[in-house]
Amino acid sequence: GDKALALIFGTFAATTAAQQLTFNVGAINVPEGCHVNYEALLTTTDHTYWGVTRNIVAGEALSRGEVVYQKAADSEWWLAKGDAYVTVSGVLCLVVADIADTATGIGLIVGGFRDDTVDYTAADEMWVSKATGGLIVDTQPGAAAFLRLVGHAENADTIFFNGLNTTIVEI
């Protein structure tokens, strides 16, 4: 159908005949029957991302590509590790750019992340490592671990990350 695009005083609205997507200050409204679609994988530029993000305050120096959890004691974000329940529970984030200790940076909650230094196989499952804090691995950790599945490989260099409250299994 016909489409209209308006950008007026901080509001973005894309309208079709019966549906409207509106961005207002502080809110995104996606009506029933509509969706947000990312049309392409991250195929051209290293260290790029798309998705839902939030500001995070680092409890220690954090590097791009590390998975982190929010520590209750100080509300800061620390390296997740599958050897303790507390470090893989709750919402996790993927660090999209290096963050200095106590500095604020961006954490990816759900979305895609490209890193040309990895070599995954499409559909590989991504797990929080039990051996190395902050590391995402494409092999399920062995016994004496808290398993937290955090996504899958889209291709050799790109993962789909999901840090929302997914099931944790102790083995």
Q: What is the mean pLDDT of each run of 10 residues along the chain (171 residues)?
A: 43 51 60 73 83 96 98 98 95 98 97 94 96 96 90 94 88 83
Which pLDDT score, from 0 to 100, does residue 104 have? 98
For residues 69 and 60, give the distance between their C-alpha atoms in angstroms, rounded to a whole number. 12
pLDDT attached to residue 5: 42
For 88, counting Cβ atoms within 10 Å of its Cβ (0-12 exposed, 13-18 middle, 19+ buried), the class is buried
The alpha carbon of residue 125 and the mean position of all alpha carbons in its chain are separated, in whole angstroms, by 15
Q: Provide the pLDDT for residue 31.
A: 78
pLDDT at 39 (0 to 100): 62
Q: Across the strands, what pairs with 167?
A: none
Q: What is the per-residue pLDDT for 17?
A: 46
SS3 171: coil
Phi-psi region of 104 (alpha: psi -120 to 50; beta: other; left: phi over 0): beta
Query: How many alpha carbons lie under 13 Å from residue 58 in its C-beta half-sphere?
Result: 23
pLDDT at residue 56, rounded to an integer: 98
State residue 33's pLDDT score: 81
Q: Which of 45, 70, 48, 49 is nearest to 59 (CA)?
A: 70
Tokens 């092999």 correspond to what residue? 139
pTM of the model: 0.81
Can you give the pLDDT at residue 8?
39
